Structure 1
Amino acid sequence: MIWKMSMHEVSMIMLFLSSILCGVVGVVKLKSGEADILEWELMSLNSSVIVFTLLIDWISLLFLSFVFMISSSVLYYSGSYMFGDKTFNRFMYLVLSFVFSMSMMVLSPNLVSILLGWDGLGLVSYALVIYYQNEKSANAGMLTVLSNRVGDVAILLGIGLMSSLGSWNFFIYSFYLNDNSWLVLKVLMVLAAMTKSAQIPFSAWLPAAMAAPTPVSALVHSSTLVTAGVYLMIRFSAALEGSSIQSFLLIISCLTMFMAGLGANFEYDLKKIIALSTLSQLGVMLSILALGYMNLSYFHLLSHALFKALLFMCAGVVIHSVGDYQDIRHMGKLIDYMPLTVSFMTVANLALCGFPFLAGFYSKDMILEVAFMSNINFIAFILYVMATGLTVMYTFRLIYYTLSGEFNLSSASSINDEDSLMTNSMIVLGLGGILGGAVLSWVLFPEPYMICMDGLMKSVTLLVSMLGGFVGYMLNMMNVNYKLMMLDNYKISCMAGSMWFLPLLSTLKNSEVMLSSGSYIHKMSDKGWYEYFGGQGLNYFFSKMFKILNNLQLNSVKVFMKVFV
């Protein structure tokens, strides 16, 4: 008997088995406290040795386990979602090369070798964003790759700075990098993390990257590419402790999660709402990391990957079923037609809100309580509270418009849960969204954190969440008054709904400024002073000098001297 398996099935099986293997070995490493470092010397340059290094410890193995598990579900899901696509094999190869680049980046404690995975992520994500070959995808891909290029340059400059140490293994040296001599390196690494994790002012590329196919969004823009910056900061966390850059990272990440939560309440594109929620959760991870709690940031990174990938996959099933459009105002009452998909989507939404005993509750609740207990200023506290309320608010708004609101679909829509390939691929992540947080909390924190707070501070998170959910659901039920209120305050709503004009500043205005200034610099420098002091000027100077020297060599210049006796 000959077994015939398609590419997505083979990929799913191999990645799922790899996920189990990495997870088991990672838990063993965590319990034993061991870490293995493998080095392969490529070349020696003066006193600096260029080596290819792999760090195999519990952080890298557990993260790889989650990446492989989500990738296996997404590739199996793609077998149905991308069915009929003429270049399906190319799509699968691109996704697999993305997983390989992510593995390179996760396992590397060396800035030179980490750049291979880091640049690979940027290149493959660009190819995936422009997969649908149209103008919108091309613009989104260009914004994505140029924004990430800033972080690539920051890492290259960091490699140049670290060359004075004789090695680029930041995992070893990060404990000894003080602010007096290495503040610039820390700024460059934070800048690289901000670009890859789409923090202000680089936030515009993440919602724009939703032009990619939905399986790409589920894998790339929820749990792997955008978390690469957070992972880099987790590896650099020892160098950040006690540094002056921590306050800067805290305020930027808090502003990002507030801005993303505010923008999601004005957005009507289903995938962009989920992308903005990803942006908000990235702010949560980086903010608690800036406070010095690396393990909590890593905990939320893993639990968030489970339910956010599930949420994107559910969104893909919904988009397919309702006729391939993404406006949530044209959906509604899906609970009557897609009970299984809606159940998974509700689990993912409630986990995002931090509903008790789901995956997001264990990490998010602990993060908020630890942040409230920490020595943060009043502005950061207010931003935390408001971002939490806004998260629940846009989640219940999404639930109203898609799952439980009025039926707004056309009569020709075929809405059902009959695609077994897509629904089966969501089961693993659905179980992860329910049980993943509890299991991770038992594994990562066998001894519970002691959090001592008064009753009011303890109940702030619960009260804000309940208020946000109530306001988010009721405002959209009274949509007439809601729209009129937005029109009365048009300028404020326009700013809040456009991510504080970051897409405009990142594209149109930025291009205008860069083109005009670039033209001026081109005339003044390339065709001006650089020509005078550069190639043309040197050519003119040397040609004159060589003529004089040539005349002297030929002895055609006679010097007569009158001698007086």
Structure 2
Amino acid sequence: MNKNINHLSFSICFISFFFLFFFMLLNFFFMIYFIMNNYVLFLEWELISFNSMNIVMSILLDWMSLLFMMFVSLISSSVIFYSKSYMSSEVNLNRFILLVLLFVFSMILLIISPNIISIFLGWDGLGLVSYCLVIYYQNNKSYNAGMLTALSNRVGDVMILMVISWMMNYGSWNYIFYMNFMANDYSMNLISLMIIIAAMTKSAQIPFSSWLPAAMAAPTPVSALVHSSTLVTAGVYLLIRFNELLMNIYVIKILLILSGLTMFMAGISANYEFDLKKIIALSTLSQLGLMMSILSMGFYDLAFFHLLTHAMFKALLFMCAGMIIHMMSNNQDIRFMGGISFYIPLTSLCMNISNLALCGIPFLSGFYSKDLILEMVSMSNLNFFIFYLYYISTGLTMFYTIRLLMYLMVNDFNLMSIYNLYDEDYVMLKSMMMLLMMSLISGSLLSWLIFSYPYMIYLPLNLKMMVIYVSLLGMILGYLISKMNFYSVNKFILSYNLSYFLSFMWFMPNLSTYILNYGFLNMGQKLVKNIDMGWSEFYSGYGMFNIIKNYSSIYFIFQMSNYKIYLFSFIIWMMMLMFMMLMI
């Protein structure tokens, strides 16, 4: 029976992989054709027509949606192929694969939607399936993380629902038809504000940041998918689609500050973290802050460029982390790792290249987008606060990456006295090699495809070299910190409370979970105690019951028909009469 189940699961894996890979190739060829001919395809499929009411399914195919679908299909096909080996001991592997396919389908629905209703279907589908995937390993930690993820994303869902209700004023939910000439309308300003809040929840900007590291409770293939091209990028993609509305409103400046602070906060927290998956999750948060901040400055094409390049090396990074965690007996603490490049050279190669692409090392995929973003920031008319946030966050990226590489590759192996590390899981390696090639070439490939003319940026020499300066400084600090005990350095330089504040994401998990929960639960306890079990209970159910019970016990005594009770009552009655006569 188990053999049949495994055979069925592996068949579903292969069919899903080939289907997604074929879909990726199809999107690639269509995307090339659409870019060459400057072609946009808008399809409307009428589902129901009743009297004057039409329910229409709309699909928008342009170079952006096709390119994004291509990347989502490529990464998800690699993840499913990788899961065949990674989740091979899982009893319900076919359920896992079907959940991942549902997740990818929700993202594709969101990508191709020019209609806010179908966007909401994809958006809510992502939230629901992400909850199912986060609680996949059924334990208390997973349930808490899943509930935090679902409830944080519900805020965004409510905002989209409110956008749908406000858009009823315009007679159509196909927002692309009237975004240009309704941009200054008061209702459109409200819609823009709601869209920004929805995107902030999905892309985990401050103050909704705590769910992203908590979602690490999901299996590693899911993390590779969530953190690269699906769930967290949905908010960025929504803002890219609504970019024409956003530049006229003041809230976009607040988004710039919040996303810059998110980038800075995630970079600092990653330097204090020892959990391998959480370090990579915080790096995702940092890169999301970079995308949202450059988007809020008006460069939506640069945000989309970085979104795609980041998707490749981040998926690869999570796959390498999953393979290393597998080999380390499911241990995720980087202090127990070290010297793994001697034993698993191919995995280490993939890990190093994806990490260096994250840092923006020249001619890897991350370099083309990050360098362009930072040079546009240097050329823009911004204040020093935003400028420093960008460059310090870039240095922090280098800082935690070098620290991670030192702990994994260079330091001594600390896990067991007897260990058996091997690099021969060819199913995982094949799926990683596909993404490795894309991490090397996708930056240059996309820079030729997306930009019809090259950006020519003239800057003074020091500003041009600023990225190299902060990267070198981050590299040196990362090397030094990994060679010494970080917490002893903190005690020497910083107070304990400050280091605690910096390492725990500026108390973001406490603010978004414990304080809210404690406040509401405490209020609920007081309501139950003082109202449900207090006055209302005393004067309603319980109180009435006591009164009726006491009276019924008295009536019961009279109904016993004893002679002495009648005699006793006669005596009391006579005494009362005498007392009344005396009073008169």
Which of these residues, 391, 404, 413, is aligned with residue 410 of structure 2?
A: 404
Change (3 A) 1:97 1:481: closer
**Cα drift, residue 182 of structure 1:** 2.1
**Aligned 8 A contact 1:154 1:188 in 2:** yes
1:324-335 correspondence runs (5 A): 324-335=330-341
Aligned-residue offset at 1:44: 6.5
1:406 to partner: Cα distance? 1.7
Partner in structure 2 of residue 372 of structure 1: 378
Tell me the SS of whatever aligns to 2:44: strand
Matched with 1:509 is: 515
**Which residue in 1 is equivalent to 2:269?**
263
Q: What is the SS of the residue equivalent to 2:453?
A: coil
CA spacing shift, 1:117–1:525, aligned 2, 3 Å: farther
SS at match of 1:323: coil
1:484 and 1:181, CA in 2 relative to 1: closer, same or farther beyond 3 A? closer
Match of 2:354 in 1: 348
Q: Does 1:450 align with 2:456?
A: yes
**Residue number in structure 2 paired with 1:430:** 436
Alignment of 1:63-462 (within 5 A): 63-175=68-180, 176-178=182-184, 180-462=186-468
Of 3-12 and 466-475, deviating more is 3-12
Change (3 A) 1:405 1:179: farther
Is the contact made by 2:145 and 2:215 (CA closer than 8 Å) also made in structure 1? yes
Distance 2:494 2:23 in 1: 55
The 1-side partners of 2:521 and 2:89 are apart by 42
Residue pair 2:206, 2:262 contacting (<8 A) in 1 also = yes
Amino acid in structure 2 at the alignment position of 1:53: S
Q: 1:480 to 1:248 in 2, by over 3 A?
A: closer
The one-letter code sitting in structure 1 at the alignment partner of 2:99 is L
Alpha-carbon deviation of 1:460?
0.9
> What letter is aligned with 1:23?
F
- Would you say the 8 A contact 1:50–1:167 is kept in 2? no
* Alpha-carbon distance between aligned partners in 1 of 2:75 and 2:158, rounded to the nearest angstrom: 30
Contact 1:144-1:206 at 8 Å conserved across structures = yes
Q: Name the structure 1 match of 2:500.
A: 494
More moved, 208-217 vs 367-376:
367-376
Q: Distance in 2 between matches of 1:167 and 1:48?
A: 11
Letter in structure 1 aligned against 2:189: L
Take 1:130 and 1:478, find their aligned partners in 2: how far apart are those partners? 37
| Contact 1:323–1:413 (CA under 8 A) maintained in structure 2 | no
CA distances 1:301-342 after superposition (whole Å, capped 9, x unpaired): 000000000000000000001110100000000110010000
Percent identity between matched residues is 54
| 1:245, distance to aligned residue in structure 2 (A) | 2.1
User: For the residues of structure 1 that align with 2:531 and 2:152, how far apart are their CA atoms?
Assistant: 26
Q: Describe the shift of the 1:93–1:354 C-alpha distance in structure 2 as closer, same or farther (beyond 3 A).
A: same
Give distance in 1, aligned partners of 2:528 and 2:52: 39
8 Å Cα contact 1:218-1:309 kept in structure 2: yes
Residue 41 of structure 1 aligns with an amino acid whose one-letter code is E
Deviation string, structure 1 residues 439-490 (Cα, Å, up to 9, x no partner): 1111112421021111111111110011001101112212278545368521
The match for 1:539 is none
State how far apart, in whole Å, the 2-side matches of 1:159 and 1:480 are.
50
Alpha-carbon spacing, 1:110–1:388, altered in 2? closer, same or farther (3 Å): same
Match of 2:477 among 464, 471, 488: 471
Given that 1:329 and 1:401 are in contact with CA atoms closer than 8 Å, whether structure 2 keeps it comes out as: yes
Against the structure 1 CA distance between its residues 451 and 492, is the aligned structure 2 distance closer, same or farther, given a 3 Å change threshold? Answer: same
**1:12 Cα offset (Å):** 1.2
Distance in 2 between the 1:138 and 1:405 partners? Answer: 35
* Residue deviations 1:211-235 (CA, integer Å, cap 9, x gap): 0000000012222110000000000
Is 2:64 aligned against 1:56?
no
Paired with 2:309 and 2:220, the residues of 1 have a C-alpha distance of: 20
TM-score using structure 1 length: 0.90
Structure 1 range deviating more: 464-473 or 25-34: 25-34
Between the aligned partners of 2:143 and 2:198, the Cα distance in structure 1 is: 23
The answer as to 2:45 corresponding to 1:40 is yes
Query: Closer, same or farther in 2 for the Cα pair 1:469/1:149, shift >3 Å?
Result: same
Q: CA deviation at 1:33?
A: 1.4
1:215–1:313 CA contact under 8 A, matched in 2: yes
Aligned partner of 1:540 in structure 2 is none
Across the aligned residues of Structure 1 and Structure 2, the Cα RMSD in angstroms comes to 2.2
* Secondary structure class of the residue paired with 1:222: coil
* Cα distance change on mapping 1:454 and 1:143 into 2, 3 Å: same
1:91 partner letter:
F
**In the alignment, is the contact (CA less than 8 A) between 2:57 and 2:118 conserved in 1?**
yes
Q: Secondary structure at the match of 1:41?
A: strand
The residue matched to 2:138 in structure 1 has which SS? coil
Q: 2:13 aligns with which of 5, 8, 24?
A: 8
* Residue of structure 2 equivalent to 1:30: 35
User: CA 1:135–1:451 in structure 2 vs 1: closer, same or farther (change >3 Å)?
Assistant: same
**Shift, 1:401, TM fit:** 0.5
Alpha-carbon deviation of 1:375? 1.6
> Aligned pair in 2 of structure 1 residues 430, 111: CA closer, same or farther (>3 Å)?
same
Unaligned 5+ residue runs, structure 1? 529-565
Task: Call closer, same or farther: CA 1:91–1:290 in 2, change over 3 Å.
Answer: same
Contact 2:490 2:499 in 1 (8 A): no
After TM superposition, the score normalised by the length of structure 2 is 0.87
Find the aligned partners of 2:52 and 2:261 in 1 and give their Cα distance: 43
Distance in 2 of aligned mates of 1:200 and 1:97: 28
Q: Residue type matched to 1:433 in 2?
A: S
Q: Distance in 1 between matches of 2:527 and 2:281?
A: 37
Alignment length (residue pairs): 526
Superposition deviation, residue 52 in structure 1 = 1.5
The Cα shift of 1:38 comes to 1.1
Distance 1:484 1:374, change over 3 A: closer
Name the counterpart of 1:532.
none
Q: What code does the residue aligned with 1:286 have?
A: M
CA contact (8 A) 1:49 1:167 kept: no
How far apart in 2 are the matches of 1:443 and 1:119? 31
The separation in 2 between residues aligned to 1:486 and 1:434, in whole angstroms, is 41
Letter aligned with residue 266 of structure 2:
A
SS in 1 for 2:57: strand
Q: Distance in 1 between matches of 2:516 and 2:489?
A: 31
Q: In terms of mean alpha carbon deviation, does 373-382 or 92-101 score higher? A: 373-382
Larger Rg: 2
Aligned partner of residue 37 in structure 1, secondary structure = strand
Distance 2:204 2:531 in 1: 33
- Residue type matched to 1:52 in 2? M
Partner of 2:567: none
Gaps of 5+ in 2: 1-6, 535-584
